[in-house]
Homo-oligomer: A and B are copies of this chain.
C-alpha cells in the first residue's frame, strides 16, 4: 500500500492507495471521530461494496444512503434529501459522511458534509479511476445548477481518501480509458518522466494490472496533491489542472452530457490543447505526435465528432465559469511536462483549430 500526504496545514490528510484496503478496518477507523456514519453511495456501487465496507465499520451506527445512478442526481434536491435523513436520524456534529462511489457521489457527499451543521467529517472512497486520480483529491465538492455545471459547491477537504484498486475490477472498459485521460494530463502538465512511463505501460494499465494501476494512481495523486497544496482555492496555479478541460467541458455541453464520458471529452480536449500549443509555436511536432499516439492507444477520441457545431463549441468556451474579467484563459503546453495558463493566443488561432479539428 502507498500512502501520500496532502499538505494543507491543519487540513492535511492522507491518501491511501492499495489493493483490498476497503477491508482494512484500522485505516478507516482512525479517521472517524464520533459514532455516527452515513455511507452515501449509488445503486450499482452499493451492490458491490457496501457490505465489505459495513463489515469494516461494524462498531459504528451506520446509515446507508443509496442514490439512483447518474449525473442527473447531482443537484441541490439530492443534497436536501441527505440533510433530511441526517436530521431525521439525529446525526450530531461529530458525524462522518463517507462517499462510496464515483465523482458524482463524491461531489454530492462532500458538499453535504461541508454544509451539514457547518461541516462534519468526510471520507472519500472513490471507486472509479477518474474519481481516484482526480475528483476525490483536493476538496472540490458541489452540485450542478440547472443552467450550469458545478455552480454550487464548496472547497472542503476530506479527512482521508481511500483508494482500493479492487474496485476497478468491476469497472467498464470505457471508464478505465476515461480515467486514464486525467492520468495522462498529470504527465503533460508537470511530469515528463511520468508521461514516458505511461507510454511504456499503457497496455498493462488497460489490462488493469494492479501494480501498474497503483503506480499510475500514486503518481497522479502526488502531482495533484502538490498543486493543490500550493493553491487550495484555485486563485492561480491550481487552474493548471484544467488542461484539456475548457475544450472538454464545451464538447460535453454541446454534445449533450452523457454522450461522451467526461474523461473522453478531456482526452479529446488534451489533443486540442496540444494542437493549439503547436499551432502557436509552443509545443514541437514530435511531442504533439507522441501525445496523439498515447491518447489514441488509451482508447480515447482524438477527433471531434464531425457533426458537432463549432460555433457553439466556441461560445461555450467563452461562457466557462473560469473566465476572469471576460478574457478566455487556456492551459497550453510549452512542452510535455510544462504547462502555462495563458491568454497568449489569437482568437484566429482558436477559430482555426476549432474549424479544422
Contacts and interface: CB of A to CB of B under 8 A. Distances in A.
Interface of A: 34-35, 76, 80, 83-84, 87-88, 90, 92-94, 111, 114-119, 140-142, 145, 147-148, 150-155, 233, 319, 321-325
Which applies to chain A's interface (DSSP): helix, strand, loop or mixed?
Answer: mixed
Contacts of A35: 325
A83 B116 contact: no
Name the residue among A76, A88, A322 with the largest chain B CB count within 10 angstroms: A76
A94 B325 contact: yes
B118 A153 contact: yes
A325 B34 contact: yes
Q: How many copies does the complex hold?
A: 2
Given A93-B321, A93-B322, 19 more contacts: A35-B325, A83-B145, A84-B145, A87-B147, A92-B324, A94-B324, A94-B325, A111-B115, A114-B154, A115-B152, A115-B153, A115-B154, A117-B153, A118-B140, A118-B141, A118-B154, A118-B155, A118-B233, A154-B154
B118 A87 contact: no
Contacts of A119: 154-155, 233
Contacts of A154: 114-115, 118-119, 154
A296 B150 CA distance: 51
Contacts of A80: 76
A201 B226 CA distance: 55
Nearest to A86: B151
The 8 closest A-B pairs by CB, nearest first: A118-B153, A87-B147, A115-B152, A87-B145, A118-B155, A115-B154, A118-B154, A87-B148
A118 B93 contact: no
B324 A152 contact: no
Contact of A321 (B92, B115, B321): B92
Contacts of A319: 90
A142 B155 contact: no
Contacts of A94: 324-325
